[in-house]
Structure 1
Amino acid sequence: MSIPYYHVDVFSGKPLSGNGLTVFTEARRFTDRFMQRITQEMRQFESIFLQRLGDFEFKARVFTCEEELDFAGHPILGAAGVVHDIYFADRQICEWQFQLNKKAVWVHTKKEKDQYTSVMDQGMPEFGYVLSEQETLGLLPMMNLEMEDLYPGLMPCVVSTGLPYLILPLHANGIKAKIKVEDISSTLEKFGAKFTGTLEIPTLGIRTWDNAGKVEDIATGSLAGPCGALLVKYGFKKVNERFLLNQGANIGRPSELYITIKATETSFWDVWVGGGVCKVGHGFLEPDLIMPYGD
């Protein structure tokens, strides 16, 4: 039996922009090794593998070309748009639950004319380590930045809604940022972070890379949520205000990430991240051809 997959672009209002994604909807019997190999074959920044648990509930596994992630934004949003289109295309609005390795995530989807809009509740943000001035002076050359590029009064800090990022809050020159060391992972681990990203506060532009600095991500929901929380914490945006972060234009894939930091009865902050999901195509893998080599 052939293995179906779906190709969508996330955080975009039209195809061939935003962040591409492959969604595998029937992954119940896939091994970890097989999912990793298929992700490498598809060559998207991430692929997501689903097992349907109920009408509106799925177990989800997310892989990059290098590793499995416990959480990622654009794969979950993209997957929600895909399952809405497959299973309930006659409904305008749906609500989904995705069971990840360490948390469950709720996603709302709305059918538009030529696309879907997905909005994810990332939960409460966790604010972690704030770098000292000395630590910042050691970090900035690794990122091709200087102290003058930082937003006045703010230091790099770790924020997470499921995936901890070391965020560099910038006043200017976000475009020149890049990872200049062979692998920044060990530096990030000292501060409790998995990845690093920049937030240029005046333009609301964000950027992030793999830890070797070889690949820049196009649109990153797991970074957008923490950046939104940071903007509210320091008074640049208000609770319950919907605002837009931008990413990817500098690499030819302009992306729009919508953020709302909500106050609820049980928590002061709930981080909501959303964007468009556009269909690009779908296809099938032939298991008889690839299964013998997948493991």
Structure 2
Amino acid sequence: MATVVAVDRHRAGTQARRYVVADVFATTPLLGNPVAVFLDSEGLSTERMQQIAREMNLSETTFVLPPDKGGYRRVRIFTPVNELPFAGHPLLGTAIALADADPVDSMELETHEATIPFTFTRSVEGVLSATMRQPVPEWQPYELLDTLLEGIHVTDPILPVEVYRNGPRHVFVGVSDIPALSAIRPDLLVLAKLPNVAVNCFAGSGYRWRSRMFSPAYGVAEDAATGSAAGPLAVHLARHGLIEFGRQIEIKQGVEMGRPSTMLATAFGSANRIERVEVAGSAVVVARGSLYV
């Protein structure tokens, strides 16, 4: 009883903030990439959101707010160390969590980078998957190539190493095959010298690819599923002739971490003009709770 009284006194003057945890780009709990979604974040300061993201200690935590620009909701996205203008798996998980409670067929979520449209595939049991239309990325050759290759111990990338920006910055390094991809042991101290970038290594062929992402700059040693990189990877492969524009590819990630994830990505247009980029996947809610702050 004494413990309960102490907890009640600690909660005095606080507000219960409801949240869910969803495993994203997976249909089975404890796979994919988790995200914590705070469903009602009005009144929270930026500093408090960052503290909560650090407390949750997941790769990303999202905070749902009323819209500013006519969208369904506004969403802010935090890693344990910083705020992101756009991110894929946290937004897809947030969209599915919101659509579970409201049987809409589509919604637009406002982010710092852009307003992101979502459409949903449903069954009688709920949302099966969501498709997001991502910002069309910009790209250029990566400026710190030598340090990058030193950090991942790759000497002969299969394609030009380029960095794409659709909010976060993603640099892509192709390796010869999946065993070579799985064998990468990154030097995170070297990669930490690369500012404001996530390092994505990939391998595969046809319409089936594998990826690994390392980003000390964003506070993530390795990520189980990076939705914001899935669209640019499809663009990268199509621009360099490894896949056709307009054909969906499957990207597996997180295998080496024991949290396999499946992302579907499509780049529409041509090498001269990217018309749109879509990324799709599933998510499953694995926890619900309240945080008293």
Asked if 2 retains the 8 angstrom alpha-carbon contact of 1:115 and 1:278, the reply is no
* Match of residue 182, structure 1, among 158, 183, 189: 189
RMSD value, Cα: 2.3
Whether 2:119 is the aligned partner of 1:108: answer yes
Distance 1:141 1:73 in 2: 28
5+ residue gaps, structure 1: 291-295
Superposition TM-score, scaled by structure 2 size:
0.84
Q: Cα 1:145–1:41, aligned 2, differ >3 Å: closer, same or farther?
A: same
Q: Residue 290 of structure 2 aligns with which residue? A: 284
Q: Residue 200 of structure 1 aligns with which residue? A: 203
Distance 2:101 2:62 in 1: 16
Distance 2:182 2:51 in 1: 33
Distance 1:16 1:138 in 2: 34
Q: Cα 1:214–1:79, aligned 2, differ >3 Å: closer, same or farther?
A: closer
Instruction: Quote how far apart the aligned CAs of 1:52 are.
Output: 2.7
- The list of structure 1 runs, each at least 4 consecutive aligned residues, that deviate by more than 6 angstroms after superposition, is none
Asked if 1 retains the 8 angstrom alpha-carbon contact of 2:148 and 2:191, the reply is no
Distance 2:274 2:146 in 1: 33
* Match of residue 133, structure 2, among 113, 121, 131: 121
Whether 2:257 is the aligned partner of 1:257: answer no
Distance 1:102 1:39 in 2: 20
* Match of residue 236, structure 2, among 219, 230, 237: 230
Q: Residue 53 of structure 1 aligns with which residue? A: 67
Superposition TM-score, scaled by structure 1 size:
0.84
Instruction: Quote how far apart the aligned CAs of 1:216 are.
Output: 0.9
Number of residue pairs matched?
270
Distance 1:111 1:41 in 2: 33
Whether 2:244 is the aligned partner of 1:241: answer no
Distance 1:137 1:50 in 2: 40
Q: Residue 140 of structure 1 aligns with which residue? A: 149
5+ residue gaps, structure 2: 1-14
Distance 2:132 2:252 in 1: 17
Q: Residue 95 of structure 1 aligns with which residue? A: 106
Instruction: Quote how far apart the aligned CAs of 1:87 are.
Output: 2.3
> CA deviation digits over 1:208-227, x for unaligned, max 9?
12326862100000111111
SS in 2 for 1:209: strand
Q: Cα 1:26–1:214, aligned 2, differ >3 Å: closer, same or farther?
A: closer
SS in 1 for 2:189: coil
> CA deviation digits over 1:230-268, x for unaligned, max 9?
01111111122111001001111010000111249xx64
> CA deviation digits over 1:118-145, x for unaligned, max 9?
11111322122246xxx64453122122
Q: Residue 10 of structure 2 aligns with which residue? A: none
Q: Cα 1:6–1:166, aligned 2, differ >3 Å: closer, same or farther?
A: same
Question: Percent identical across equivalent pairs?
Answer: 25
Instruction: Quote how far apart the aligned CAs of 1:200 are.
Output: 1.4
Instruction: Quote how far apart the aligned CAs of 1:271 are.
Output: 0.9
